[in-house]
Structure formats: C-alpha cells, structure tokens
Structure 1
Amino acid sequence: MVRPVIELINRYDAGKFPKGESYIILSSNENPYPPAEDVLKAIERSIKKVTNRYPDPEYPELKRAIAEYLEVDVNEIFLGNGISDCIYNICNALLDTLDKVTIPMPSYTMYAMYSIVRDASINYRIYPYYKIDIEDFIESVRNSKLVFLCSPNNPTGNAIPIKRIKEIVESVRGYVALDEAYVEFSDASAIKLTDTYENLIVMRTFSKFFGLAGLRIGYGICKDERVVSALEKIRLPFCINYIGAIAGVEAIKCLDYYKKIRDIIVKERERVYRELSKFEEIEVFPSKANFLLVKSENLRLAEKLEKRKILVRDVTGLMGLSGEHVRITIGKPEENNALLNALEEILS
C-alpha cells in the first residue's frame, strides 16, 4: 500500500516544456546564456569517460572548488542532485513524525512537499509578497524543528535582510534551511553567518548563476559536523553525474565570465522592470533575482503570451498570492524586447 500521506500531496508542477525551438522560454528562471567556453570544452572531454566510469563518490575536487569559491571549510559542504535534492535530504535527516516545520509563504512548494512526506506538522505563515513580519515570525518559529527561508525568494524576488536572517536563526531552537539559489543576482549572502550559527544550513546551486541547470548540481554549507555527516551519508552515493562534477569545477574557474553575464542579466532585469511599470493594467514587483513577479487582473497573461510563443510561469493560486500572477524570467535583450512588444499588443 502507498502511504496515505503520498495520496494527499500534489505532484510538483515544473511548468510547460514545449518541443521545438520556436518558443521564447521565460518560465523556469534559467540563465539564458551558454556556459563559459572552457566549461563546454571540459564537458566535451569528460564525455569519453561518462558511460563506463563512476565519478568519485566523495567529489573532492568539486568540494574544494566550492570551498574556495565561498571561503568555507571543505568539511562544511554537502552535495545534492540540485537544491531540490538537498531539501529532500535535509527533511529526511532532521524530521521525525509531527516535528514542526515553519514555512513563510508564498515560496517554493518543495519545502512543504518533502516535509509532508516525513509526516511533519507544517506551520504556514502567510505574508503577502513574502514581506515577513519579523516579530510575528520569530514568535511563531521558536519551537520549530526546521524553518525554511528563501532569499531572494521564489516567486516574489525580494530578499530577507541579513540582519533579519540572523535574528530568525538566533530565535529557532531547531535548524534554519536558507535557500540561496538566486543569491548571486543579489547583493548579499548569509554564508558568513554559518561561521557563528551551527543551526544555519545554506543551500546553493549551479543551475542559475552558473547556467548548468541541466546537470543538476546542488550543495549546501553548515557548521554542524553532525548535520553535514548525516546529509552526506544519506544522499545517493553518485548524486552528481561525472559530467556535472567536472563542469562545476571548471565553472568556478570561469567566475569572471559568469560575473559579466550576471551584470547583463541584472541590467536587463532593471530595464524590464521599468518598462513593465509603465503598463497601468499590471503591477510589477522589484526583484533581487533573475526574474520578476507580475500581478494582473483576469488578463490570462500566461495563456495569451503562450499563443505568441512566449512562455512565462503562471503562479496564480500559490498560497500568499491573491489574484492572477505570472513570474517572468529575465532573458536575453532580444527575448525581453519580444516579451515587452507582446505585452504592448495584449494590454492595448
């Protein structure tokens, strides 16, 4: 028999993946630019070994590269098959039946899904557009075994000030799992707080800033050796494929390239925000990520844009969002121009 709790959860909706190259895809928060040339060359070289050899299950080169990138101890690093896998493993390692998990909403639905699979007790805290009332939130999390935070948050794009993250971590008796998937597009990371707080777990990915979404490379940082040991123990032994492990190391060597790409994306984000703000029929929210959240009133924007071969993510109905909302990934300038032209046509 399938466990009853599995019947209660919905399958994760990853959005639409159309076949063919005629669509402009602004729906999955992917980096629209290709990896650095040296990363592509490293991938090509690794293909010769990928079919018949396992990667080193400890991934020493990848961990050393991450440690150097973030200026942390290599023993503080754990790995996963993307951040979603890290979330899954954190829930498996830390949660027993009916443990309290606090999740501010609207945010990434995987936090709740994997907590529910562990039969945890979910404490949803609704803050419109993820504008967290810190005093209220701190009062609600004191007895939590696990608290999930996302900064910059998906899908709202706003970030939690480091000072506030510190206050939350200090107030929780259990652990705080902070998702920083989009942090390289912002101006502040809480990584340094792990030096002081052993109950803080910070998760990162190679999918966004480094543009390696298809290779599924996730990782995290925690000062608590017991937690890191547990997460490394229960993850799949070869959770990152051979190509991904090679590409991740090479990507960190190419930081200058990725920072230039990041600067282009951030500049485009601000330009698109300004242009969208000119439309009276919609409301666009400031963002520290590589996407923008847009509110409209019964305009069916996702549907109308799809008819024009442009995909955005419909997040209408997400807990904490009232009314119709779409999330728009920042693409290349020409893709963003096509989006703006399409909206001009739709909204006129």
Structure 2
Amino acid sequence: MSYARPTIARIAGYTPGEQPKGRRLIKLNTNENPYPPSPMVADALQHFPAERLKLYPVPGADSVREAAAELFGIDSRQILCGNGSDDLLTIALRTFVDQGGGFAYTEPSYSLYPVLADIQGARKIPVALDENFMLPENAAELAAGAALFIMARPNAPTGNSFPKARVAKLCREFAGVVWVDEAYADFANDNCLDLLGQFPNVVVSRTLSKSYSLAGLRLGLACAAPELIAEMDKVRDSYNIDMLTQALATAAIKDSAAMRENVRRIRASREKLCGEMLAMGCDVLPSEANFIFAKPPRPAAEVFQALRERGFLVRYFNLPRISDYIRITIGSEEDMAAFCAVCRELFTAGK
C-alpha cells in the first residue's frame, strides 16, 4: 500500500547519471566540467565567515542576481535564482501549469521534463524533433493547448542547437510561456538572451553546473520579464539559495573570464574528439555543448558496457530514436586521449 498520491506512486522518477562508488571510473556521463572553478571561488570559500551561518540567507540571493544582471546586461528584477536549474523548472511547472493543464516539451530531450509533468499532474504534450533533431517549424501548432513549452538549447542529449529564428517563431506563435533551457549555452555559438527584449512570454535559464565548474554547488538562474519573475517568485521556497552558495556563486559570476578559458579548452577538446570518433567510423551529431552524441560502429549498448568494463562511464539512453547513440562528456585532454585509445581498440576488434 502506498500513501502517496496515485500519480506519484505509479511513476519511477528521474534517473540521474551514475555516480560510481568504490572502483575508480573516468566519468564522462554527467557533463561535469573537468577543470576547477575560478580561484575567486576558492578564495571566497576560504574566507567565508562561518559564524554567519547562524543567520538566514538573503531570501532573494540579491548579490547573485546583481552580478548576473551586470554580466547579462539586464535588470536584476529580471532574474530569479534556483537551487540548480532543475529547481527553476519545478517552479515553472508549479507557476504556469495547473493540474490537468497542458505542458509541452521537445522530445528527445532532457528526461526530467516528463517527470516534472507527472509530479505536477500535468497533461504531457511531447513535441517530436524532426529527423535532424531540430525544432519543427510548426512547433507552436503541435503544442497547442499547452500553457508552458520547455526546450533545451543546445539540446540534451543530442548536443545540437536549434536556429534562433525558429525559436523566435515559436515565441511569436505560442500562446503560453516559452522556456529556453540554456544549461549548455556557454559552449554554444549563440544564445537566446536577446529574445527577452522581443517577447514578453520568454524565460531563459542558465546554470553554474556546467561552464562554471560548480555542479556541486547547485545554482541556477532564470531570466525573464519582471512580471514573469514576480509570479515565479511567489512559488519559490523562501530561502532556496543558502548563504554559502550565494557567496561562492557571486564570486564565480564576477570572474566569468575564468569560466570562458575553461570553455575554450573544452570546445577545442570537443572538436578534436569529434574528429577522432568520425575517423573511427562513428556518426557524430554537430555539438554546441560540452559533450558529443555519437553512433558507434558497434551496438551502442554493447559499447557502453565495454567502456564501463575498461574504466570509462558514458551515458546510454535505451529510448526511441536515440538507442543507437552514446553521449560522451568532454573530459580533460588526458582523459580524452585515453578514451580514444580504448575506442580504437573496441571498434577495430574483430575486423
């Protein structure tokens, strides 16, 4: 017998990437940054006054919002902070989608989206990406009846980015809120922040987990018109960003130059890995993220297991349209060299 709501009792919940215990594995499965965060973060941590922890944190994480507003060139009233961008996505569902209301999201994409719909009791409206994993031209029509449309750009797990003109078309034609989940935007060639000035129904979210090397900190940012932010702020937990996170996140954002240098290294490694995998006979989708999505010359499930046995964790999704692919996070240059050596061994065996 379950005492949970029937909706909760029957769902499995979100399955995160494996966090290995015991045996040492090279983690290329959860899109973590292989390089350390800004030295300013370490300095802020070292000099944080522990005695202040007896107090509640600033409810709105003002210092984080002000630093981000300066970086993005917008007003701090246009920013909401979350305990990671996943917290912000939960806030979005609770703010904009009634139980039984329509929630649209691209598919295949971030596997948390349908889970959040189930938790909210929303009506799921998956919008299939086209044969090239692109946002379809008629996305607004396919999402008719939804109050909220969420897409990841660049998309996860495929890594490709949708043309901005097509995103703008959706924003113009869709009657509800369009949420652009830009967890990987710093690795891409462009972003959608400028759409905030064009459309009142747009939210663009960011995270410090990927490009800022702060996955363990949990800090996300939602950017939108002040009116939208004010509505979501009603739903936000009163103290959803702890005091230490506020201090370290502010330091990280103020030293975005350190982030950009790490991004430069990752982008260079990404292009090199793409070339290596293509040379080994893989099909590789164009990536603007900190990972690549590759179809190996052997069954992907077998490759996933063989790599694990040899000490490398990648991500495999046994889902329609993408079960032939593996997702590979860009690691350090040394890890990538070792990974490619193992792949050459796997893909040439038996030839």
Give the TM-score category using the shorter length: over 0.9
Counterparts of residues 56-205 of structure 1 (less than 5 Å): 56-127=58-129, 128=131, 130-135=133-138, 137-205=139-207
More moved, 201-210 vs 138-147: 138-147
2:259 aligns to what SS in structure 1?
helix
2:294 aligns to what SS in structure 1?
strand
Aligned residue type for 1:117: I
Aligned residue type for 2:269: E
Q: Structure 1 residues 207, 47: closer, same or farther in 2, change over 3 A?
A: farther
Question: Is residue 199–residue 224 contact of structure 1 (8 Å, CA) maintained in 2?
Answer: no
Structure 1 residue 277, shift from structure 2 partner: 0.4
Q: Distance in 1 between matches of 2:207 and 2:340?
A: 29
Q: Distance in 2 between matches of 1:194 and 1:21?
A: 46
Q: 1:283 aligned to 2:292?
A: no
Tell me which residue corresponds to 1:4.
6
Q: Structure 1 residues 337, 174: closer, same or farther in 2, change over 3 A?
A: same
Q: Structure 1 residues 9, 130: closer, same or farther in 2, change over 3 A?
A: farther
Q: Deviations over 1:279-300 (max 9, x none)?
A: 12x3221100000011234251
Aligned residue type for 1:132: L
More moved, 246-255 vs 165-174: 246-255
1:134 aligns to what SS in structure 2?
coil
More moved, 262-271 vs 15-24: 15-24
Aligned residues: 343
Counterparts of residues 323-342 of structure 1 (less than 5 Å): 323-342=323-342
Structure 1 residue 325, shift from structure 2 partner: 2.0
Runs of 4 or more, structure 1, over 3 Å off, are none
More moved, 112-121 vs 325-334: 112-121
TM-score by length of 2: 0.93
TM-score by length of 1: 0.94
Structure 2 unmatched runs, 5+ = none
Tell me which residue corresponds to 2:37.
35
Structure 1 residue 129, shift from structure 2 partner: 5.3
1:32 aligns to what SS in structure 2?
coil
Question: Is residue 66–residue 252 contact of structure 1 (8 Å, CA) maintained in 2?
Answer: yes
Structure 1 unmatched runs, 5+ = none
Structure 1 residue 20, shift from structure 2 partner: 5.0
Structure 1 residue 307, shift from structure 2 partner: 1.0
Q: Structure 1 residues 180, 344: closer, same or farther in 2, change over 3 A?
A: same
Structure 1 residue 132, shift from structure 2 partner: 2.4
Tell me which residue corresponds to 1:219.
221
Q: Structure 1 residues 23, 47: closer, same or farther in 2, change over 3 A?
A: farther
More moved, 148-157 vs 293-302: 293-302
Tell me which residue corresponds to 2:235.
234
Structure 1 residue 133, shift from structure 2 partner: 2.2
Counterparts of residues 19-34 of structure 1 (less than 5 Å): 19-20=21-22, 22-34=24-36
2:54 aligns to what SS in structure 1?
coil
Q: Distance in 2 between matches of 1:310 and 1:117?
A: 33
Q: Structure 1 residues 308, 49: closer, same or farther in 2, change over 3 A?
A: farther
Structure 1 residue 252, shift from structure 2 partner: 1.6
